[in-house]
Structure 1
């Protein structure tokens, strides 16, 4: 039975109210949305063409729709019969569509009774023996003003395949402006001048502008700014509704962007239908409909980004990955899974190509996998969204392998990761051993929460710090791991990590024994599933030894550079001191002995020159190494002599202790030089303890393995004797400890030290193929380590006494007796002073400023002996010696140099009888010439 017609009072709230049902029919048939008009007996009075496109039931089932060209905007209104001839075979709605549970009938009745709109999403609408649809729907009641006729308008959006009805065609009169409010799309009516004359509420909601601003505006006003799909500006003349007016053709499903006021652009899908009057070629208006696809577009962009990322992961993954799409039946139940994507690693694992695998179905083409429960597992993943993990045995196609399978839900399917674990299944013991080895890795791995409490601690962290897992988990990392001086750095580290997600740098850690270790620390912020920061993962690599080696390497490079520098300086200083030391000797011979003041002045000059010469000798000793007799020595004897000397000379508030291994190995070296090194270290230790303390000299054997040798850049694997000199003095900061072996660097007050003691000691030990090391901490004292290579077993140690108890013999005087001497040097004042010195003792001297001049002198005059500098421009002294040796095989030659370039042996091999180091005194010069002439005479006699 039909519902009672509404009262007059009710008609005010019922909508729409129509004078002529025929006009409503015309509107329904012209509307671009899928709309059907039903009367109160639920018969389908008429419908839009879009309705037919959705449900594909053209013909006699619902009646033939009216041609759209019957709707006009001007002229006399047609009668209902003229406007819409009654269908000859109207059918009821429930004859066309099934309503087994009465849900649709109940909705229609409720809409009429409540005189209001009813709407919902994705309700099932099916035809008997036909397809089933899922639609978003809205039911709105209609009635005539007198209530004689009524029914409902049913508007749907087909969500079965997530598409809107296509082929919008509109031709609507401006007189039913209120009727367009029954559809959800935005609707605008633009006249032939481009001015918008009408619109619905949906249009203002989508465009973000009130209708008062839209109505009356022109399409090319400033408020209308458009975007193409690619994001570039869209000129107003290319707007789809203006093109529809100009081209006189409908524009369908064109996407463009519009700018709401003070908001990001929104994306709309536009259909524009030009409207024509009978007999006219140009349209009188354009009916514009559009829907908001901003969310849809953003979802598509996000989906495409996700797909691109997934494709990248699939291509780079070391695991085999297959993506399966769910195959569903008419009731939306999953019946199978079809492979849609395969990564390269999966091709290798399954020994097949992607072309062969893509398209295969799990149940039809992979029965062995279904037997292992994969189909049920995948279906459960899709249903619940929870990932599934399992291990399967794959024994198809002659392969016998184990895979760890991880399935996670993706859009309408699952992504499955296959990891080959055959080796692990076949060798569990080896895997456990490897796991234990991983726990023994050098890197210390720990994690702490954002408050700094440690939550994870691996074995390597225990080995590095000495703290066990039970001792540190739950404690504050800053309290037990890092030095107090790192507080500011840790704060900056935390801020950087929270801002950028990671931090890398060096930190100083404290061990359980309060030792300091330098670590390369990598901090990473770990987030939870919601993206909120949760933990901090810290990986610490111990680089203490590496930093020590870097420091040693830099110190070695610096010392090498300084050696070259001071060697050059010493050479120049030596050349400057030679005329002074030689000139004093000449002046003393010429000045009357009765003039005491002159003699005192000359003695002062001589002493100053000799002191300068000694300093140059020390510098040269550092630069070129110290030579001396190398014999097997007992280190304990040297330590005993050092102990005796320190006890006799050091103050009583300095306690001297010595200790040596019972089976201390012998070393090869010069006892005097080694004693000099140890005494220098002991004196420095004494000076570092102004208020007294303990000085310890400890000699013991050390075996350097390959691993230990790598800890010191100057060490070689082998057996060593280490002599440590420890004090309990003031200690040194790190920046001072790095420079103490440099020449002229000293921490003592001005005038109390030259800064050459440790540099000379360093050079002495290097010349013994050993090395020195130092460890110091302010307020805790300093330890110097002297490492000397142990002697071979067959070496016979000699006594280490550095003195022979005999007085040094007086130097003999030498007479030149007219011997012809050629002095070659590129410094004129050296030539002049040497000439005067030698002529004063009876030599006849010729001089040459370079090697070429010397060769010319040798061609013209007979020369008994040549003394030549090694470092000269153009032709060096070595080349001169070689040429002279070829022309004069028996000629005595003396090589002289002050450069630390290690050319002493090279000069002797080139043919020189002896070597004279600059600066030299008159006595040394005379003695060397006498030695060279005497050696030459002995050679001739033999």
Structure 2
């Protein structure tokens, strides 16, 4: 060699591996040293860092043309090649062998073939690829480079001793045997490249790229196979991953809902589109590929297209932008576009994603119009709309709140709802709101009074709905209506109805009492005239006066029972016993045309009530039933123990008839005083009103069921009582009993006091009379009176009856007491004398009733 080549020791190996360097056209323009042996560095007179990685044209420019031609032929043909280089008396042969994408080169002295082969072997021993030689005649490997260990884990010795068929997997062995059969065919190429699977010592399988060259002997017969094996496992895995990735990307491109297009920026032509974009725009793929957007007339607004390309030129990215496109049909649609640039196949392209938002924009516009209408409805509505959170604080209030209550939206925002509620309504409203929050979607009706900013209160009715679970609302929605004026009108109407009822009641009472007074005054006048004339009094006149007084007392009791203010003797009662006691009288009242059926439940619970009132209620119902069955029928009276859903225990008295029934238009007036359907003079209209008052006063309920032509059922339900029923011996005696005990009478009404004193003295009692409580107490404390019985009115001016009794019993603890009262139940209750066990005689009473009660108390 000349120039950079120097004469070297004949035993030294001159070997390099070079990698081709290609130009823009793909042709090899230079070579880069990938590996270089020490002798080469000595020949070149350079250090390793001056050669390794450098180009051939830089290291030995004077030999560039010769070596470049040799290596290019070897790389292109895949067959070994050599040239001769003369250097003084020595001749060197420079050989080159293609290793796939690189070339191995060695220089040898042709005068010593052995040394040349040794140098070539040294070259093979130092490359990463496995170089091997297979002798076809011997049928085995005669050489393998040490890199076999890195490839398959075998030592050189193990590889040389390994049978050929075990060096490949069964599938690859079949493929290789088929290839060998073709190699020996005439005209078959001597060089082959393929990917085969080879087992490793650790049991794993590697993909190996094997390049083989057939070497023939002097006769042209195949003699050896020289091969280069390169590990292609990672490359194949990467290639497969790339293919899978490309497949996935292609699938995503085709299947995504967004319309995707690829435009080549050099000529702005479409090179790829997906099915979604075609569906959006209405064209077929054949109609758009290779066309520009201008040719297709896609942009009805050219300024939008210009903005897109300006953004791509400036930054390579189009941020979400609303753009109009024209479909094939000519319809203009609205799209949301995002785009960016990328290198695809060596070309700069723009990738755009198009989302058709036409329907969405139309829906948004419709929603906005709907919201505007809804807001207008809220702002124009007279109803107040308030939204509150789960804590009860105001989130929103409509303008009508300001109009009705005077508070501005800013003033009411954040306030707790109860801050606006009337103090008397807070507990009820808080309880109702708490219950409403327990269940989503339910609606509750609320009534309350809300505070006006000026301090007054407005009456409102509310529909509250729990929509906290609705993402669009997340609030309790309260729709409130101001009903203050309506409430006032209703109150006025109810007051008018009350006045009308009171007027009707007053008229009825006046009519009945005028009749009674006519009898009393007429008979009293006749009796007075007879006595003034010295004639004996007519007993019939006295009896008429007494009867009229009794009827007046009965009318008063009916009125008080209707008003639920009658003075009653509430004691434990057995309704079975009450019905049995009334049964004989009921049969006489009903007559022979009506059958009476009595069904009494054994073991009936006791109830609290007034015996006379309960009997009166049964009798009133029986009389009404009799009048409803003019042609006869059946009246049933039944008792039963009843447990209601709320766990309470009741005793039910049922009175059922088979009469004509009650029309619906009459039912709502049925319990009104003096309301009657009977002819004039046939009824007072107090019968059912009295029944209702008696049952209500006993804490019970009245229920009505009626069908025209089939009859009517009244169910009187009374709460169960645990108290024992009083024996008959404890009831007031009816006989006119006499005595000689001392009785102190305290009564502020002089005529009543005189009647009581006269009756007691006529019966033999010693009587002390006082016109008020203070005088009566003075007789006990100052006059040292020791009465056996104190009879006192409950209500008197100054000291009332209860105070008198307490003071007198401090002087005489065992003093017996009988209270008198003509006042209503609520008044005597306020005076503290309605407790069970206190003796009370209601006005009006007869002399017989007074003396009987006095005797029972004194004997007790």
TM-score by length of 2: 0.36
Bigger relative contact order, structure 1 or 2, given CA contacts below 8 A and separation 6+? 1
TM-score by length of 1: 0.33
- Which of the pair has more CA radius of gyration? 2
